[in-house]
Amino acid sequence: MQTVGFIGTGVMGKSMAGHLINAGYPVHVYTRTKEKAEDLLQKGAHWADTPKEIAKNCDVIITMVGYPKDVEEIYLGAEGLVAHAKEGSYLIDMTTSSPQLAQKIGRTAAERNIAALDAPVSGGDIGARDAKLSIMVGGDESAFQAIEPIFTKMGTNVVYQGKAGSGQHTKMCNQIAIASGMIGVCEAILYAEKAGLDPETVLKSIESGAAGSWSLSNLAPRMLKGDFAPGFYVKHFIKDMTIALNSAEEMGLMTPGLTLAKKLYDELAEMGEENSGTHALYKRLANQG
């Protein structure tokens, strides 16, 4: 089996790398805080001290980090993956990042006979834990076909979208839909409470009808329990919305729903909730002052 390197073992990356270990792949891991990889090391993963070490020892390298600046440093820096990966290897960025950066990485990697795929995911911590992520892939189609068996160990909806950057553009579509949808979910729950209804009973009626959504079924119950632990961080969602707004502006596309959501999430972060889950938007809308 191919030796897999995994860089970034946070809320989602930890589960994703764990599925590959369970499937029998030799896995090497690197993360800035080694303690975050301890569970994976106990499962049999091999520790690497630097991304460069991962690059030299692995056939397939997956990254799941925080921000586009992290992606650029890990891939295109002097000590980065593109400079040190083996010819014929595969680089897969599963971070939600800039489509334009994905295209740049794809071009630069191809010059060294390395295949680069952008493969962001949707499904949050639950999807990562249960290996039921939706994975959106951009890059060379033959590279996608070679790596698809690895993707299927982490997700159940794996779709090739097209050339480099297409996976990231698809993820922007996903985030745009979630952004406005989350406002609706929060407003519906708050309306039920103000009307004197039992919100849990309301959910039984509306989550299986036309209003149904992943956020309504999975995140509204967390709101009602006061559980705002991150499946996906507010600060990372703000990063995604910023990328989407910039891309939309380049294309001359008006996105009023996304613009409003970004404003509300910025205000939520100013309330000290940047490390909460995205469903903490409930707190911002409940705080009408």
Whether 116 and 194 map to the same domain: the answer is no
* Residue-number span of the structural domain to which 71 is assigned: 4-164
pLDDT band at 1 (very low <50, low <70, confident <90, very high): confident
> What's the pLDDT at 204?
96
Domain boundary among 164, 190, 213: 164
Instruction: Give, in degrees to the nearest 5, the angle at Cα 75 between 72 and 76.
Output: 70
- CATH, residue 227: 1.10.1040.10
**What is the sign of the dihedral through the CA atoms of 131, 135, 140 and 145?**
positive
Whether 17 and 125 map to the same domain: the answer is yes
Q: How is the chain split among helix, strand and coil, in percent rounded to 5?
A: 55, 15, 30
Q: What are phi and psi of 136, to 5 degrees?
A: -110, 120
Whether 59 and 81 map to the same domain: the answer is yes
Whether 239 and 153 map to the same domain: the answer is no
Whether 160 and 175 map to the same domain: the answer is no
CB 192 within 8 A of CB 202: yes
Residue range 185-209, pLDDT digits in tens:
999 999 999 999 999 999 999 999 9
Whether 10 and 149 map to the same domain: the answer is yes
Q: What is the pTM for the complete model shown?
A: 0.92
Whether 187 and 148 map to the same domain: the answer is no
What total of structural domains would you count in the chain?
2
- CATH, residue 100: 3.40.50.720
Whether 10 and 132 map to the same domain: the answer is yes
| Residue burial 147-181, b: 16+ Cβ < 10 Å; e: rest | beebbebbbeebebbeebbbbbbbbbebbbebbeb
> What's the pLDDT at 178?
95
Q: Which of 52, 171, 239, 262 is catalytic?
A: 171
Domain boundary among 125, 140, 164: 164
Whether 198 and 78 map to the same domain: the answer is no
CB 257 within 8 A of CB 198: no
Domain boundary among 147, 164, 181: 164
Q: What are phi and psi of 23, to 5 degrees?
A: -80, -5
Nearest to 14 by CA among 231, 276, 159, 214: 231
Q: What are phi and psi of 229, to 5 degrees?
A: -60, 145
Residue range 63-92, pLDDT digits in tens:
999 899 999 999 999 999 999 999 999 999
> Is residue 4's pLDDT more than 80?
yes
Whether 157 and 173 map to the same domain: the answer is no
Mean pLDDT in the chain?
96
CB 3 within 8 A of CB 26: yes
Whether 23 and 152 map to the same domain: the answer is yes
Q: Given the structure tokens 């707190």, which residue do they identify?
A: 283
Q: What are phi and psi of 212, to 5 degrees?
A: -60, 140
Per-residue tokens: 163: 């050339």
Query: What region does 44 belong to: left with phi over 0, alpha with psi -120 to 50, or beta?
Result: left
Residue range 112-129, pLDDT digits in tens:
999 999 999 998 888 999
The question of whether 43 is a catalytic residue gets the answer: no
Instruction: Give every CB contact of residue 54 below 8 A, 6+ residues apart in sequence.
Output: 5, 7, 28, 30, 48, 61, 81
Whether 16 and 108 map to the same domain: the answer is yes
Q: What is the mean pLDDT of residues 8-31?
A: 96
Per-residue tokens: 138: 């951009």
Distance CA 125, CA 58 (A): 26
| Residue burial 254-271, b: 16+ Cβ < 10 Å; e: rest | ebeebeebbebbeebbee
Distance CA 149, CA 55 (A): 21
Residue range 165-181, pLDDT digits in tens:
999 999 999 999 999 99
